[in-house]
Amino acid sequence: MQTIDNFNFAGQKAFVRVDFNVPLNENLEITDDTRIRAALPTLKKIIADGGSLIIASHMGRPKKNPDMKYSLKSILPHVADLLGTVVQFAPDCAGEDAATMVANLKAGEVLLLENLRFYAEEEGKPRGEFATDEEKAAAKKEIKESQKAFTAKLASYATCYVNDAFGTAHRAHASTALIAKYFDENNKMFGYLMEKEVIAVQKVMTDTARPFTAIMGGSKVSSKIEIIENLLTKVDNLIIAGGMTYTFTKALGGKIGNSICEDDKLELALELLDKAKKNNVAIVLAEDAKIADAFSNDAHTQFVNVNEIPDNWQGLDIGPITEKKFAEVIKNSKTILWNGPTGVFEFDNFTSGSCAVGDAIVEATKNGAFSLVGGGDSVACVNKFGIADKVSYVSTGGGALLEAIEGRILPGIEAIRGY
Ligand code: AMP
């Protein structure tokens, strides 16, 4: 498989799919440029080699072409600043102008294409309302056809293809997956960011050092079932934390007061426990909880056994006994995956459990464990606690990472690597 480090971009025109879907405020100013910064090593390598760089991304979910709220022109000055060079802009990613600008792009020059999703062909889904199912089916067929032409057009700009957009790797879109077939295996590769993400997932899911502990937190079992089911075939220990705790506790006959609970998932919780036993996976559940008399940072609190929560009280974090229990398991692990907080970490009075888990992961990492943190709120957690650089890897891909740990093949990865 081709790698970006081994590839000399001199004299090449590189089409680089990045994820510049950054948050903007109402004045269309960038409020967090992490995603742009994450792609810089790849972009800079191509420029330094003397390649011509074509940068392509989506932003937001535009419903028409163009929808200036989602124009990549808003981020153009900042991209140029970060790259330290002039960046040209093609105001229509698949228009005549773009083709001319690409053709005239010299060695070391950079061109940013307008938002790929201004074309429905990027996602390959028809837009608008349809009166009948037949009309919808016809529109779907039509867009699949025009998607081929759109993809071929994008591919025609370049002599090589680099995918550095892990955040969209779970989508089989024109620029994230379909385009790859226009390049032979020596001329398509992951960017540095994508490479790091793929290696991190591999270290956790396939080349696993044992014991392997996953900490699954967050609010609901229902949004994590597929991940839990897949993890039950991989991990040695599965720590169940966060709001999910109470569905499991209730299923086991405990009293959970007003704690968050999915009553339609009680049976499923028992099935998961049973499956864990069959697979020799140790399920680690909370023993005590920090409970509150309201869903508020200022509520009255107390610590109780997790299965003895009084009426009108709710569990908003784990208690100190559980913190110790979880930390012990984590510190004895060689591979750690953390997804989801142990409690309502947005309230300062209920961060202690998540913080304890974070600290234990940092200690295990210091002692040689590989730790991957990812998927939504756990990233916010490690940032809040200032430990992002003390774990092995913090994933940039929310949905993509979750699908990878569900055991799914990601189209953006498959398109480059094959399986
Ligand atoms: P998720 O997006 O599923 O990872 O869930 C993250 C959310 O779960 C965060 O906003 C937490 O505040 C919430 N959460 C964690 N523990 C609890 C709990 N015990 N009760 C209610 N919400 C919780």
- The per-residue pLDDT for range 242-300, each reduced to its tens digit, is 999 999 999 999 999 999 999 999 999 999 999 999 999 999 999 999 999 999 999 99
Nearest atom of ligand 1 to the alpha carbon of 223: 3
Please determine, for residue 377, whether its predicted confidence score (pLDDT) is greater than 90. Answer: no
Nearest atom of ligand 1 to the alpha carbon of 316: 19
Is any ligand 1 atom within 6 A of the Cβ of residue 353? no
Percent of the chain with pLDDT over 90: 93
The residue extents of the domains of the chain are 13-196, 208-405
Please give the positions annotated as active site.
35, 220, 376, 399
The Cβ-side half-sphere exposure at 79, using a 13 Å CA radius, reads 27
pLDDT at 128: 87
If you average pLDDT over residues 40-52, what whole number do you get? 98
Residue of 221, 304, 344, 405 with the most ligand 1 atoms within 8 Å of its CB, for mutation: 344
Please determine, for residue 324, whether its predicted confidence score (pLDDT) is greater than 90. Answer: yes
Please determine, for residue 146, whether its predicted confidence score (pLDDT) is greater than 70. Answer: yes
- The per-residue pLDDT for range 64-118, each reduced to its tens digit, is 889 999 999 999 999 999 999 999 999 999 999 999 999 999 999 999 999 999 9
If you average pLDDT over residues 214-227, what whole number do you get? 91
> Taking a C-beta distance cutoff of 8 angstroms, is the pair 372, 395 a contact?
yes
Is any ligand 1 atom within 6 A of the Cβ of residue 364? no
Same fold, 13-196 and 208-405: yes
Three-class SS of the chain? CCCCCCCCCCCCEEEEECCCCCCECCCCCECCCHHHHHHHHHHHHHHHHCCEEEEECCCCCCCCCCCHHHCHHHHHHHHHHHHCCCEEEECCCCCHHHHHHHHCCCCCCEEEECCHHHCHHHHCCCCCCCCCHHHHHHHHHHHHHHHHHHHHHHHHCCCEEEECCHHHCCCCCCCCCHHHHHCCHHHEEECHHHHHHHHHHHHHHCCCCCCEEEEECCCCCCCCHHHHHHHCCCCCEEEECCCHHHHHHHHCCCEECCCCCCHHHHHHHHHHHHHHHHCCCEEECCCEEEEECCCCCCCCEEEEECCEECCCCEEEEECHHHHHHHHHHHHCCCEEEEECCCCCCCCHHHCHHHHHHHHHHHHHHHCCCEEEECCCHHHHHHHHCCCHHHCCEECCCHHHHHHHHCCCCCHHHHHHHCC
Q: Does domain 208-405 have CATH number 3.40.50.1260?
A: yes
pLDDT, averaged across the chain: 96
How many C-beta atoms lie closer than 10 Å to residue 62's C-beta? 21
Nearest atom of ligand 1 to the alpha carbon of 317: 19
Q: How far apart are CA 290 and CA 355, in angstroms?
A: 14
Rg of the chain, C-alpha, whole Å: 24
Is any ligand 1 atom within 6 A of the Cβ of residue 220? yes
pLDDT at 419: 58
CATH architecture of structural domain 13-196: 3-Layer(aba) Sandwich (3.40)
pTM of the predicted protein model: 0.91
pLDDT at 375: 80
Q: State the distance from the centre of ligand 1 to the C-alpha of 19, rounded, in angstroms.
A: 27
